[in-house]
Chain A
């Protein structure tokens, strides 16, 4: 058997039981690697369940900084008998399987092409601890100690982390370090170590941070000046408002009076959640709601109202696998079309596509400026992978000189001075009209907001030409919007190429890695990361410049490709799909394989769509 040997480059997967406290121990491991200066990307793969079902935590460690899902498992650490058969099967030949051998491994599961390492975790804990809950919790910490020894990690980094984590609780520091030592010691006394894979100190993370996108979004809302948050609990978006609340409690409560400079309402459903957000922003407060696909469906009617009546609205959509309840704890980018054209009638909604926690923060805060400047809903499209996993990211920063852009709002003084006010009157020629907040002036500036057709002065009308003129203005406004949304980022490979790739959101890391691998095989592709809808002219030019463009996305129906075709009228030959929709983040290996398959001449579009999809599936 040829063992996998590597330094700072591997994928480890922890197999646990949901609700046993494994998450914090696994996190301890990932963060320790990160503190040793090596890029990591941990991913939770968890069930829609609170306690009892299998849950996994996959950590990619990569000195080169590739953070996307790689595919393949080098080390599996299994403490869950339920999933053991599957877990051992997944290990790549030459890899390592570490398990709790208090109960011996089922002989049928044995593999001769991997290294199997048994550690009696349960026995160690049963001997050490009386309390059953402690036995369970510390078992997780013990295996982190085991890993530290097997992978030759710096134990001081681990103990330092524990000290930081439990700063105020000295006894917790000691007991956790003791548990780490138990595992560490066991390996030293009983096992051959280190194994072929090791972790050594490096300097590849710079000033980067490890943060989940949802927390970054919550912070973005806080910095962006949101004062009203209305939401309905739904995985995977719940932690957005949790984070907003956590930090708002810290900085938005007057220590003297106890008064809150924010209001959070857990609504009765998503319809009410967005209704509240719209009501608050209609009345001049910055507000937002956060949800996922099923919530977007419920919010669609209101999104149409906000589009048509031109009310600033901020919606954070943390996407998950649909349709319907789908796979609620798995990731996808499958709400592109339902959001881009959300609601009945002719609508177009602004979408933002962040790729990193830093962008979640930046775009999160920017959403409020854009919503008020453009007077329309801004839907920020993130997903479970970015939202709920710790992602390595540039540090967050804020320009203290920055002022909020509150958009075109007439003041009492302006009204008093006799400025002509028509709520839907395009005074500046950019198709964005002036609005007033309720309560501004005793006799001037009041208007009636409605979802029905109205004239430029907000007076109800059923005249076709007035309705049409308004709808055309909204289309012109779309051009103005285009100048405000974040531009795409082009990654030039340094030469003219016929073929290119286009991606967005969480496909970035894997796409970049796939491109590097393809380049090393002599296949060079220009690339573009789209960051918003409406698509910038640069996107159109980029696609036109190339003969063929692969659109990489994490859904079944190639939704971004459809949107590009609809908006630019590209033919289907021009845009090819690279898809992944099994609920796991798209991997670099998958992308590379799909592109190569196509470039190697397998470019005849199968008669049946299913065949094409099956092919995409096989190459995962």
Chain B
């Protein structure tokens, strides 16, 4: 592994609508272990943002603490980043998003950062329906402290140390649904074809969008007895269907099998097309999504794909009726009522 990114770029690298190449969305070179699922997720984020032609500096990437939370250094190098406090990324994003509603907020967290120390903030940011993408790089263990089980490790699953986990697992998708999240998806770091359109859809969604991405830890949790290993996940995942994301004003060119597809227009005018859908579930109905999650859980399989999306979502800014102009752009003339009002207040206090 080299420690510096090569500056050279192929002159024929494809550019997006803004004229940026994919390299403009990349970050510093990763210091995670070779083969870490997190690096694939970073790659998927880069691809999604590039393909969606989002201006790189109009994204803010925030994280907590842990291997996952180091990842934002390794993508979107032209975006401001904030590696905050363990488990507290949601509150920092909430404040940041309130300050400037015009940026895209990409939160990155891990299973320890979200399901243990940050459970409270995770629950509440979902409940407030903050307009953000919340990606959990979920490997079922604490990597930076050398492989302890995390709260998303399945009961009976064993990491490299070999001791089976004795506690039941927290299902982040199920929890998010219960807490009122308006977009819930699950994917696998090894399945970019599924993950990239899901990230795009999450970005287009107005409100809180969780993507729980199973992302194997090659060093501590990729052994035969682990349910978060590459092999296990490949063998045990069931997709709700295949998802395709069509940005606004783009022509739909893919041909689909008739009968099993479903097209939905999103808030920003783009659309998603779901095909090869599992007919037993409806991802636009919360109850159906919860049932599907539970059925897969009890059969020992991992449900991936778009699990739930609320098309009538109202995000925190809409609920609070905050100004269309970002709050951080307001100055004295907008904010300060002046001395005259104080004279009146003084008079009322005598």
Listed in ascending order, the chain A residues whose CB lies under 8 Å from chain B are 34-35, 207-211, 219, 222-223, 225, 227-228, 230, 247, 251-252, 254, 257-265, 267-269, 271-285, 287, 301-302, 305, 395-400, 402-404, 436-443, 446-452, 460
Per-position binary interface string of chain B over residues 57-93, scored 1 when its CB falls under 8 Å from any chain A CB and 0 otherwise: 1101010000000001100011111111100101111
Judge whether B84 and A442 touch: CB under 8 Å. no
Judge whether B341 and A284 touch: CB under 8 Å. no
A319 to chain B, nearest CB (A): 24
The residue of chain A having its C-beta at the shortest distance from the C-beta of B339 within the complex is A398
Q: Which of B80, B317, B324, B350 contacts A449 (CB 8 A)?
A: B80
- Beyond A263-B98, A285-B327, A396-B345, is A449–B82 a contact (Cβ under 8 Å)? yes
The residue of chain B having its C-beta at the shortest distance from the C-beta of A280 within the complex is B95
Give me 16 other A-B pairs in contact (C-beta within 8 A), A247-B337, A439-B57, A447-B81 excluded: A222-B336, A259-B324, A275-B91, A276-B95, A278-B92, A279-B84, A280-B95, A280-B328, A281-B95, A282-B92, A395-B346, A439-B58, A439-B103, A443-B56, A443-B57, A449-B82
Q: Is B300 among interface residues, defined by CB-CB distance under 8 A?
A: no
Judge whether B57 and A279 touch: CB under 8 Å. no
Q: Is B163 among interface residues, defined by CB-CB distance under 8 A?
A: no
Per-position binary interface string of chain B over residues 252-268, scored 1 when its CB falls under 8 Å from any chain A CB and 0 otherwise: 00000000000000000
Contacting residues, chain A, for B78 (C-beta < 8 A) = 442-443, 446
Contacting residues, chain B, for A441 (C-beta < 8 A) = 57
Judge whether A446 and B121 touch: CB under 8 Å. no
Cα-based distance from A211 to B345 in the complex (angstroms): 10
The residue of chain B having its C-beta at the shortest distance from the C-beta of A287 within the complex is B95
Judge whether A228 and B98 touch: CB under 8 Å. yes
- Beyond A258-B321, A397-B339, is A275–B98 a contact (Cβ under 8 Å)? no
18 A-B residue pairs with Cβ-Cβ distance under 8 Å, sorted by A, are A210-B350, A251-B337, A260-B322, A261-B335, A262-B322, A263-B320, A265-B320, A268-B120, A279-B62, A279-B96, A280-B95, A281-B95, A281-B99, A404-B331, A439-B80, A442-B57, A443-B56, A448-B83
Q: Is B102 among interface residues, defined by CB-CB distance under 8 A?
A: yes
Judge whether B322 and A285 touch: CB under 8 Å. no
Cα-based distance from A35 to B94 in the complex (angstroms): 46
Contacting residues, chain B, for A402 (C-beta < 8 A) = 332
- Beyond A230-B95, A398-B342, is A285–B121 a contact (Cβ under 8 Å)? no
Judge whether A438 and B339 touch: CB under 8 Å. no
Contacting residues, chain A, for B102 (C-beta < 8 A) = 439
**In chain B, residues 95-136, which have Cβ atoms closer than 8 Å to a Cβ of chain A?**
95-100, 102-103, 120-121, 123-124, 128
Q: Is B330 among interface residues, defined by CB-CB distance under 8 A?
A: yes
Q: Is B338 among interface residues, defined by CB-CB distance under 8 A?
A: yes
The residue of chain B having its C-beta at the shortest distance from the C-beta of A390 within the complex is B349
Cα-based distance from A438 to B90 in the complex (angstroms): 17
A345 to chain B, nearest CB (A): 13
B81 to chain A, nearest CB (A): 4
Q: Is B323 among interface residues, defined by CB-CB distance under 8 A?
A: yes
The residue of chain A having its C-beta at the shortest distance from the C-beta of B58 within the complex is A439
Judge whether A227 and B91 touch: CB under 8 Å. no
Judge whether B342 and A397 touch: CB under 8 Å. yes
Cα-based distance from A259 to B325 in the complex (angstroms): 9
Cα-based distance from A450 to B320 in the complex (angstroms): 29
Instruction: Give the interface residue-count category, chain B.
Output: 35 or more
B340 to chain A, nearest CB (A): 8
A205 to chain B, nearest CB (A): 8
B283 to chain A, nearest CB (A): 28
Q: Which of B88, B92, B324, B327 contacts A228 (CB 8 A)?
A: B327
Judge whether A225 and B124 touch: CB under 8 Å. no
Judge whether A438 and B321 touch: CB under 8 Å. no
Contacting residues, chain B, for A448 (C-beta < 8 A) = 72-73, 80-83
Q: Which of A257, A260, A278, A285 contacts B320 (CB 8 A)?
A: A260
Cα-based distance from A532 to B314 in the complex (angstroms): 44
Judge whether A439 and B60 touch: CB under 8 Å. yes
Cα-based distance from A262 to B326 in the complex (angstroms): 10
Contacting residues, chain B, for A450 (C-beta < 8 A) = 81-83
Cα-based distance from A273 to B97 in the complex (angstroms): 14
Cα-based distance from A447 to B120 in the complex (angstroms): 28
Cα-based distance from A49 to B100 in the complex (angstroms): 40
Contacting residues, chain B, for A442 (C-beta < 8 A) = 55-57, 78
Q: Which of A209, A258, A397, A399 contacts B349 (CB 8 A)?
A: A209
Pairs A-B, 8 closest by C-beta atoms: A279-B95, A275-B91, A285-B99, A438-B80, A280-B95, A284-B328, A276-B95, A279-B92
- Beyond A211-B349, A438-B79, is A261–B341 a contact (Cβ under 8 Å)? no
Judge whether B85 and A275 touch: CB under 8 Å. yes
Judge whether B91 and A267 touch: CB under 8 Å. yes
Cα-based distance from A404 to B55 in the complex (angstroms): 30
Cα-based distance from A274 to B88 in the complex (angstroms): 10
Cα-based distance from A268 to B80 in the complex (angstroms): 26
The residue of chain A having its C-beta at the shortest distance from the C-beta of B321 within the complex is A260
Judge whether B95 and A447 touch: CB under 8 Å. no
Cα-based distance from A440 to B56 in the complex (angstroms): 11
Judge whether B350 and A227 touch: CB under 8 Å. no
Judge whether B80 and A446 touch: CB under 8 Å. yes
Judge whether B81 and A449 touch: CB under 8 Å. yes
Centre residue among B79, B91, B330 by max chain A CB count within 10 A: B91
The residue of chain B having its C-beta at the shortest distance from the C-beta of A399 within the complex is B339
Judge whether A268 and B81 touch: CB under 8 Å. no
Q: Is B251 among interface residues, defined by CB-CB distance under 8 A?
A: no
Judge whether B85 and A261 touch: CB under 8 Å. no
- Beyond A209-B346, A285-B327, A437-B328, is A451–B124 a contact (Cβ under 8 Å)? no
Judge whether A283 and B95 touch: CB under 8 Å. yes
